[in-house]
């Protein structure tokens, strides 16, 4: 962003006297879902996590090409076929072995991605719940009552005006 763009944005913000505050969890809030920026509900995260868990399980159980029909040594039928072809000097054996290796690596990468999604969703739910609890405790008036949104709005107006 060029300096003149920054100055234009600051001027535009200063000209716009109406500052707005929007809280997702404010009691009695009339804000609709279309008004919010980033809003994620616990149920949404749970549904995504459930889907990722189910896909992880199905993928893990159904696409194990290397382990299908495993022998006593753990080599699957595809790997056994590749070894047999290689032992008879067929070039296709090495190609089949490479195919199994690449596919196995790709499946592991996708499984890791699903595991990462699940871990991140669990972490996000816990973090944001803790943040909501902290904010609810911190924005109370001296008598313990919730601070009205209008008072919070005036704090933000002061902060924005001082910043500009």
Which among 120, 99, 98 has a CA at the least distance from the CA of 52?
120
Among positive and negative, which fits the CA dihedral 76, 65, 54, 49? positive
Q: Model-level pTM? A: 0.48
* pLDDT tens digits for range 96-146: 999 888 988 888 898 888 888 888 887 887 887 788 777 777 777 777 777
Coil vs helix vs strand at 140: strand
Cβ–Cβ < 8 Å for 52, 39: no
Coil vs helix vs strand at 146: strand
- Average pLDDT for 150-164: 77
Q: What is the pLDDT of residue 25?
A: 53
Q: How far apart are CA 90 and CA 84, in angstroms?
A: 9
* pLDDT tens digits for range 13-61: 777 655 555 555 544 444 444 444 556 666 777 788 788 888 888 887 7
């Amino acid at each position: 962003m060029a300096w003149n763009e920054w100055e234009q944005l600051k001027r535009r913000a200063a000209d716009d006297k109406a500052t707005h505050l929007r809280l997702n969890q404010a009691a009695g809030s009339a804000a609709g879902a279309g008004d919010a920026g980033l809003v994620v509900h616990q149920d949404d995260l749970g549904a995504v996590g459930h889907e990722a868990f189910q896909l992880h399980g199905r993928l893990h159980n159904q696409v194990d090409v290397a382990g299908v029909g495993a022998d006593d040594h753990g080599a699957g039928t595809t790997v056994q076929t590749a070894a047999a072809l290689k032992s008879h000097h067929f070039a296709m054996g090495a190609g089949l072995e490479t195919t199994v290796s690449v596919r196995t690596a790709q499946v592991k990468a996708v499984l890791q991605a699903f595991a990462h999604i699940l871990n991140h969703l669990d972490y996000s739910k816990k973090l944001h719940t803790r943040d909501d609890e902290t904010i609810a405790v911190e924005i109370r008036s001296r008598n313990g009552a919730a601070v009205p949104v209008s008072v919070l709005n005036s704090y933000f107006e002061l902060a924005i005006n001082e910043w500009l």
